[in-house]
Structure 1
């Protein structure tokens, strides 16, 4: 195998990995988990605010 063939095979493998990651990210069964993860920063703010309120009391 020459360098061109190896480069072509590598390109196809990387492209297939990319397609797999995109498919996984947009699959409907992951929506609940991703929505939950997207709201984590807001949950931390609520916890920090309640901790501050307790310390000020």
Structure 2
């Protein structure tokens, strides 16, 4: 096996891995978990605001 063949095999492996990742990312079953992850930053911010408002009311 020469160097060109190894590079070709490596290129095909990387391409197959890319296709698998794309299919995983755009799978409809994953949409809800991705939506939850995308909106989680807003949930944390709301919880922090509730804690700040609660602490200000104690003063």
One fold, TM greater than 0.5? yes
Structure 2 residue 11 is the aligned partner of structure 1 residue 11: yes
Mapped to 2, the partners of 1:10 and 1:31 lie a distance apart of: 31
Q: Where does 1:1-57 land on structure 2 (aligned, <5 Å)?
A: 1-57=1-57
Mapped to 1, the partners of 2:45 and 2:32 lie a distance apart of: 21
Structure 2: unaligned runs, 5 residues or longer: none
Structure 1: unaligned runs, 5 residues or longer: none
Shift of 1:34: 0.5
After TM superposition, what 4+ stretches of structure 1 lie above 6 angstroms from structure 2? none
- Normalising by structure 2, report the TM-score: 0.94
Shift of 1:24: 0.2
